[in-house]
Structure formats: structure tokens, C-alpha cells
């Protein structure tokens, strides 16, 4: 697409033309005021996609209504009708130069993208003004509890199928995931957790190779990361070096770090897949030993691909997405990790509120002391006089 980024039938970036409505004419003879032009808004809506916007509005133009002219019957012209662009939740709205105009994180969130022109008034010599004109970009970053992170063919799609109700494409070759898939994991107490399976990374993804930034940007809004590696290692092609499971973990970490360093500070779990392979137990023990002291094994990595900070995983879970081994245990670990994270966030929020109340109380007492001191001084003066 010339003005949108898409892969498969999935669109995650759309460029639109927006223009606020022109203000209405004033009525010089009676000193009337023209109505202001309508604004253009982007509004978060459930069950909406960027592809639906693209298909429904092929010209990708959105214009606010013109303000009504002043007249003998209505000296104050009515405001033009606002134009609303219904967009999916998880959108970042930016200008063409990359400046962030706003974000849509919940249903009903609104971002003003083009203001209507003001109507004519005596101060403007009764001449109306035109509305703002600009190009904007709607950039979708998926919001999910967990984001699956792994090289192609690590078994992410198979894992998502085993965990949830999603049915992504699965095959024994790389890059079967060409667009994000979100699955819901249901628990007996009716709690649901969303997991996003995203296009596989390759070495150099931070430089926008392979799926590059199309993948990495979606990691930003997930609460936690779920690394998925093949216990037997990974090789993208015959001409590329084979990487062990330990190397795969560290290379994934480095790709995230090079794209945006704060990503590696997210709470993370590690899934070691394909435990049905021969000698899988031995390879798993070797991986665990390497993860306990990663600094001792940096010689296995290219110098420019050694992470600044090694990730300490909350849980390391061996599974076989093919046979179902370990999947129920993984579901329990995911739930435990997210519940712990939510409790920490709640505790931090309570601490902030408590600190604010203490500060407020301290200021109140300090102000009362000032008032009391001032009253005492005044009383002494009056008594003296």
C-alpha cells in the first residue's frame, strides 16, 4: 500500500488526510458571527480495524463540516458538524513528522487531529478562517497481556493454539506467521488472559530486517513477554550459523534491547519448546546452567550481539506444544506471573496515593501553624495597643 503498512491482510499503519471545517461568514450589516467549522476527531471503538477504515474510505480523506453563515434569522451561525474517525483501541496518532498527537488506550478515548476554522466576526473583518489541514498516521500497537517473542519456527503458533482459542497458520518452515494473532486463555474462575503471537524475529530485526519494526512495535504495549525457544536450537537457513537455545535467548534479548532498551525490563517468562525431541532433557539442563551464569558463556555470541543486561526469567517452563506436555503448568505460571505483577502495580499505586495524602496533610498542618502564628502575633499587638 502506498499510504499504509500492511502484511497479509493485516494493516497496522494508515496515513490519512484530515481537514477541519471552514468557519461561516459573518453578517457585516448587523454585526453577526459566523459558526465555527467542525473539528476532526479520532475515536477508539471496539471491533474496528485499520483495514476496515482503509476499505470503507479508499480516498482516506476526512473533513469537518462548514460553520453556518450568520443571517438575519440567526445572527450567531451554528457550528459545523464534527467528523469522527472510528479507529481500533491501541492506536497512537502521530503527525507526518512523527510528533505524537495522542493515544487511544480504551474505548471512547478521543484525539483532536484537525481543528475547525473560526467563524467571521467584527474582529476578523467578518471574514471566516479555514480549518487546520494535515496528514496524520494511525499506528496500531497491539495491547495484550503477553507477547510471544521468538525466532521463526520456534513453535509460537503451535503454542498459541495449545493455550488458547486462536487458530494461527502452522507449518514446519519459517515465517508462517505473517500477521499478529491474539488468543484468549480462559481459566476455571473465568479470568481471561490475552496472548499475542507476532511475526518471528530474525537477527538484525532492530535494523528493520525481516518483519523488523512491524513486529517489535507490538511488543511495546504487552504487559509481559513470553520468550519461546526451540530446545534444539535454531537455524534460519543453510548459509546462516546454527544457534543453541541459549544463544537464541540472548540474541532475542539483544534485538529487543537495540530496538528499545526499556523492553528488556518487562517481566519475562521463558518457554523451552519441543521437549519431545531426542536428548531434550540433556539440552534443557545445559540451557538452565547457562542461564544461571550467562556472563560465563558470552564467548558463544558475536561481540556486537551480547546484551547489556541479561534477562532473569520469572519462570523457565519446558513444554511440547505438539504433545501437550507442560502446557497446563505453563498456563499456571502465566497466571501466577501476571497476578504477581498486578499486585505489585496495585501496591505501588497505593503507596503513591498514601504519599500524596501525607504530603497534603503535612501542608495543611503547616498552613494551620502559619495561621495560628499570625493570629497570635495580631492578638499581642492588639493587647499592647
Q: Given a cut of 60, is residue 209 above it in pLDDT?
A: no
Q: Given a cut of 60, is residue 208 above it in pLDDT?
A: no
Q: Residue 226 — very low, low, confident or very high, per pLDDT cuts 50/70/90? A: very high
Q: Residue 206 — very low, low, confident or very high, per pLDDT cuts 50/70/90? A: very low
The predicted pLDDT at position 299 comes to 92
Which CA distances in Å does 287 have to 54, 226, 279?
A: 46, 17, 13
What stretch of H or E contains 84? strand 83-87
Q: How far apart are CA 217 and CA 126, in angstroms?
A: 48
Q: Residue 6 — very low, low, confident or very high, per pLDDT cuts 50/70/90? A: very low
User: What cell does 24 get?
Assistant: 461561516
The predicted pLDDT at position 173 comes to 33
3-class DSSP state for residue 109? coil
Residues 6 or more apart whose CB falls under 8 angstroms from that of 135 comprise 15, 16, 17, 18, 95, 96
User: What domains lie within the chain, and their CATH numbers?
Assistant: 6-140 (2.70.210.12), 144-341 (3.40.50.300)
Which candidate, 219, 221, 282, places its Cα nearest to that of 252?
219
Q: Residue 249 — very low, low, confident or very high, per pLDDT cuts 50/70/90? A: very high
The predicted pLDDT at position 20 comes to 97
Q: Given a cut of 70, is residue 205 above it in pLDDT?
A: no
Residues 6 or more apart whose CB falls under 8 angstroms from that of 334 comprise 146, 185, 193, 226, 269
Which candidate, 300, 49, 267, 304, places its Cα nearest to that of 149?
267
User: What cell does 373 get?
Assistant: 502564628
Tens digit of pLDDT for each residue in 357-377? Answer: 777 766 666 665 655 555 554
The predicted pLDDT at position 199 comes to 63
Tens digit of pLDDT for each residue in 7-30? Answer: 445 577 899 999 999 999 998 888
More confident residue, 266 or 205: 266
The predicted pLDDT at position 382 comes to 43
Which candidate, 302, 174, 189, places its Cα nearest to that of 236?
174
Q: Given a cut of 60, is residue 379 above it in pLDDT?
A: no
Q: How far apart are CA 129 and CA 119, in angstroms?
A: 6
The predicted pLDDT at position 16 comes to 96
More confident residue, 1 or 274: 274
Average pLDDT over residues 77-97: 93
Q: Residue 348 — very low, low, confident or very high, per pLDDT cuts 50/70/90? A: low
Q: 70: which DSSP letter?
A: P
The predicted pLDDT at position 235 comes to 78
- Phi, psi at 372, each rounded to 5°: -60, -45
CB distance 222 to 265 below 8 Å: no
Most confidently predicted of 42-51, 277-286, 344-353 = 277-286
Q: How far apart are CA 226 and CA 271, in angstroms?
A: 7
What stretch of H or E contains 332? helix 327-384
Which CA distances in Å does 304 have to 46, 219, 298?
A: 43, 22, 11
- Exposure string for 113-146, b = 16+ CB within 10 A, e = fewer: bbbbbbbbbeeeebebbebbebebbbbbbbbbbb
Contacts of 187-191 with C-beta under 8 Å, sequence gap 24+, read 187/331, 187/335, 191/335
More confident residue, 5 or 181: 181
Least confident piece of the model among 86-100, 233-247, 274-288: 233-247
Write the burial class of residue 61 (CB in 10 Å: 0-12 exposed, 13-18 middle, 19+ buried).
exposed
- The average confidence (pLDDT) of the chain is 83
Tens digit of pLDDT for each residue in 293-340? Answer: 999 999 998 888 899 999 999 999 999 998 999 999 999 999 999 999
Amino acid at each position: 500500500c502506498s499510504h499504509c503498512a500492511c502484511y497479509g491482510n493485516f494493516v497496522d499503519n494508515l496515513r490519512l488526510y484530515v481537514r477541519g471545517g471552514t468557519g461561516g461568514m459573518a453578517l457585516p450589516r448587523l454585526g453577526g458571527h459566523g459558526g465555527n467549522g467542525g473539528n476532526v476527531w479520532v475515536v477508539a471503538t471496539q471491533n474496528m480495524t485499520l483495514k476496515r477504515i482503509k476499505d470503507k474510505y479508499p480516498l482516506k480523506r476526512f473533513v469537518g463540516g462548514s460553520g453556518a453563515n450568520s443571517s438575519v434569522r440567526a445572527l450567531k451561525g451554528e457550528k459545523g458538524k464534527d467528523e469522527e474517525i472510528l479507529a481500533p483501541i491501541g492506536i497512537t496518532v502521530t503527525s507526518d513528522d512523527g510528533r505524537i498527537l495522542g493515544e487511544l488506550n480504551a474505548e471512547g478515548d478521543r484525539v483532536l487531529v484537525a481543528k475547525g476554522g473560526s467563524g467571521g466576526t467584527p474582529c476578523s473583518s467578518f471574514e471566516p478562517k479555514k480549518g487546520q489541514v494535515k496528514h496524520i498516521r494511525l499506528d496500531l500497537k497491539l495491547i495484550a497481556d503477553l507477547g510471544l517473542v521468538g525466532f521463526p519456527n520456534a513453535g509460537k503458533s503451535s503454542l498459541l493454539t495449545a493455550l488458547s482459542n486462536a487458530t494461527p497458520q502452522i507449518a514446519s518452515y519459517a515465517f508462517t506467521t505473517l500477521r499478529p494473532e491474539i488468543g484468549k486463555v480462559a481459566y476455571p474462575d473465568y479470568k481471561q488472559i490475552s496472548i499475542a503471537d507476532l511475526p518471528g524475529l530474525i537477527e538484525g530485526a532492530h535494523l528493520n530486517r525481516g518483519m523488523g519494526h512491524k513486529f517489535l512495535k507490538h511488543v511495546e504495549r504487552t504487559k509481559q513477554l513470553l520468550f519461546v525457544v526451540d530446545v534444539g536450537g535454531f537455524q534460519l537457513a543453510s548459509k546462516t550459523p546454527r544457534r543453541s537455545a541459549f544463544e537464541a535467548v540472548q540474541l532475542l534479548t539483544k534485538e529487543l534491547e537495540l530496538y528499545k532498551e526499556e523492553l528488556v525490563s518487562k517481566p519475562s517468562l521463558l518457554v523451552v519448546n519441543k521437549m519431545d525431541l531426542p536428548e531434550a532433557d540433556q539440552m534443557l539442563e545445559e540451557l538452565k546452567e547457562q542461564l544461571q551464569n550467562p556472563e560465563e558463556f558470552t564467548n558463544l555470541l558475536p561481540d556486537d550481539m551480547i546484551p547489556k543486561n541479561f534477562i532473569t526469567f520469572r519462570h523457565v517452563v519446558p513444554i511440547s506444544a505438539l504433545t501437550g506436555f507442560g502446557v497446563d503448568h505453563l498456563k499456571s505460571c502465566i497466571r501466577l506471573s501476571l497476578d504477581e505483577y498486578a499486585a505489585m502495580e496495585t501496591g505501588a499505586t497505593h503507596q503513591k496515593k498514601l504519599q500524596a495524602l501525607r504530603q497534603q496533610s503535612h501542608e495543611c498542618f503547616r498552613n494551620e501553624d502559619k495561621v495560628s502564628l499570625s493570629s497570635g502575633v495580631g492578638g499581642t499587638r492588639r493587647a499592647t495597643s
